[in-house]
Structure 1
Amino acid sequence: MDKRQTMLNDFDHLQDQASDILTQLAALKVQVTTLSEENAELTVENQHLRELLGEDNGSDEAKRLSKSLQNLERLYEAGFHVCREFYGQRREEHDSCAFCLELIYGERERASKAS
């Protein structure tokens, strides 16, 4: 009878622990959802602020680059290679890549030298 009581006590203890874990998981899910929503809002706000800064500064680079090159520039600034050799790979510590820079700014440089 003693072993049976010990087993029942162990099961009760295990059930309590499982219940506590479920409660913690539910709280964690709420926190993750809140942080994800906040992150999405901040991302949109950040993009709007970047657009405003680009307009206010009258950035010649942004005006000279086509939309596709501007997209590549954004990817490059986010830390990814856009060159053919390493496309999609993360740049280590945001190091410069001559291939990427040539791809993004090369045409503009050649056009300005020709003028």
Structure 2
Amino acid sequence: MDKRALFDQFHRMESRVSSVGEDLRDIQTKLDQLIEENTTLQIENQHLRDRVDYLNKQIEADAANAEPEMSKSRLNLQKLYEDGFHVCNVYYGSRRLDDESCVFCLDVIYGERESRN
């Protein structure tokens, strides 16, 4: 084998190895960035899950402390009142003029619920 051919072959091989080394360094840099980004996203994801759990528990606690809904009969009285009729024992059944408010009616509909608190 010719020394010059051997030297040229060695030089080409050295160039390829050098190129592969550069490619490996680039891949390593990108891999490091991806690992760092993945770790950051995992931490952020866990914080968001914790926040969602906290908010869900808070919503459940608020729902447990919320006032119970009105009974069916009170809902019927409320509907009559909204339709423009008195539901109080003072003016029961008469029309409310210009949809004016009536404290007696409001007390009949909502009064006992507010006194429970």
State the TM-score, normalized to the length of structure 2. 0.43
State the TM-score, normalized to the length of structure 1. 0.44
Structure (1 or 2) with the larger CA radius of gyration: 2
Identify the structure with bigger relative contact order (alpha carbons < 8 Å, sequence gap 6+): 1
